[in-house]
Amino acid sequence: MSSLQDNTAEALAVVRFRIADHHFAMEARAVEGMSREPGPCGAPLETLLGLPVASDTARRWLAIRGSQRRLGISEPVELDSIAASALRPLPPLLQCRPLLPALAAMALEGAQLSLLLDPCALPDKHTTHNNSELEMQP
């Protein structure tokens, strides 16, 4: 894990994790805390994204700031930063027809693509999405 830099114009503090061999992140300022217990409002993030839930992995539960929601993320979960120069807006087609709810931006760091999620934009429960495009090989 690289060292966390301040949220400046040069870097964005994020929480990084993986789902189905894909890299994801969300702004660290959206996360109020992390625990090993889901609490009464916990749901695996995969469920809210319409993706298969990995049942055989340990989870961390992220408390989302300004909400009662806790998101279950398969370990490892890392606090890190993304250089501002690596951030990319969503292409117009993805803005009009998002494959994932809450997809906000992308980060390209070398050959690694990370999808940035806005946890406040996640649905309250799983809604039907055709995410077959995400079932590609890494």
Three-state SS at 117: strand
What is the spatial distance between Cα 77 and Cα 15, in angstroms, rounded to a whole number?
7
What pLDDT, on a 0 to 100 scale, did the predictor assign at position 138? 44
Per-residue pLDDT of the chain in tens (138 residues, 90 and over written 9): 333 344 456 999 999 999 988 999 999 999 999 999 888 888 999 988 888 887 778 899 999 999 888 999 999 999 999 999 999 999 998 888 767 779 999 999 999 999 999 998 888 765 444 444 444 444
Query: pTM for the complete prediction?
Result: 0.80
Question: Of 20, 43, 49, whose CA–CA distance to 127 is shortest?
Answer: 49
Say which residues have a Cβ less than 8 Å from residue 132's Cβ, sequence separation at least 6.
none
Say which residues have a Cβ less than 8 Å from residue 49's Cβ, sequence separation at least 6.
19, 100, 101, 102, 122, 126, 129, 131
Which residues in the chain belong to E strands, given as ranges?
11-19, 22-27, 31-35, 42-44, 59-64, 70-74, 78-83, 87-89, 103-109, 112-117
What pLDDT, on a 0 to 100 scale, did the predictor assign at position 52? 86
